[in-house]
Chains A and B, each alone.
Chain A
């Protein structure tokens, strides 16, 4: 069974640009969550999608957005990038009701 796949693995962007990250969950998992990991703030929840609907949202500015497709694949978008957006972005997929999340390897975003 394939795990959670995140693409790309690494990205370098310039301030002011926008970026789109992709996450393919484990087959059959309908919940996809996104987290931002930085040395200073640790792991922070961005948002969760379930059956194409945003079910939960963390405390991030509107520049951070996401969506989920009918095949459960999810994308997150960050517009007008700032230096502080440099982080490891992790995606996790879950089977509803199990309370267990499986993580991808993350996308390392560097904003210069």
Chain B
């Protein structure tokens, strides 16, 4: 079974600064995907970024980038130039890549507050 661990329950960052959210996972699978989802107060889960395990290059989406360390089973999210709209809960998630399932395993989440 897969597990996803987010050990920091809360973080705070000043607007325009950079923050890094940590995530570790455990799996015996070699083919998988990793995701960061954002859940603002509206409760809508929004995909922020995804990483395929077979890709060595770290994924980047505008101000969001990941540091994927496959051997260490670490998958952190860096948010640059933080904005007030980034205030939300962030979830790290794992998906087996066998194409025969869509079951996501989530971490407990981290509450990020961006201060003006």
A contacts, CB < 8 Å to B: 31, 33, 35, 42-43, 45, 48, 50, 55-56, 58, 88, 90, 92, 94, 96-97, 99-106, 108
Q: Which 6 A-B pairs have the closest CB atoms?
A: A103-B45, A43-B106, A99-B33, A94-B102, A31-B102, A42-B108
Number of A-B contacts (CB under 8 A): 60
User: Beyond A43-B91, A99-B52, is A56–B44 a contact (Cβ under 8 Å)?
Assistant: no
With most chain A CB atoms within 10 A of its CB, the pick from B35, B47, B103 is: B103
Minimal beta-carbon separation of A31 from chain B (angstroms): 5
Q: Pick the residue among A48, A100, A104, A105 that contacts B103 (CB under 8 A).
A: A48
User: Which residues of chain B come closer than 8 Å to A48, judged between CB atoms?
Assistant: 101-103
Is A92 a contact of B43 with CB atoms below 8 Å? no
Q: Pick the residue among A97, A101, A102 that contacts B99 (CB under 8 A).
A: A97
Is A105 a contact of B43 with CB atoms below 8 Å? yes
User: Which residues of chain A come closer than 8 Å to B50, judged between CB atoms?
Assistant: 99-100
B contacts, CB < 8 Å to A: 33, 35, 37, 42-47, 50, 52, 91, 95, 97, 99-109
User: Which residues of chain B come closer than 8 Å to A96, judged between CB atoms?
Assistant: 99
20 A-B residue pairings within 8 Å (CB atoms): A33-B102, A35-B104, A42-B106, A42-B108, A43-B91, A43-B109, A45-B104, A48-B103, A56-B103, A92-B45, A92-B102, A99-B95, A99-B97, A100-B35, A100-B47, A101-B102, A101-B104, A103-B44, A104-B44, A106-B43
A33 to B96, CA, bound (A): 14
User: Which residues of chain B come closer than 8 Å to A99, judged between CB atoms?
Assistant: 33, 50, 52, 95, 97
Is A45 a contact of B100 with CB atoms below 8 Å? no
A42 to B104, CA, bound (A): 13
Is B105 a contact of A45 with CB atoms below 8 Å? yes
Is A55 a contact of B91 with CB atoms below 8 Å? no
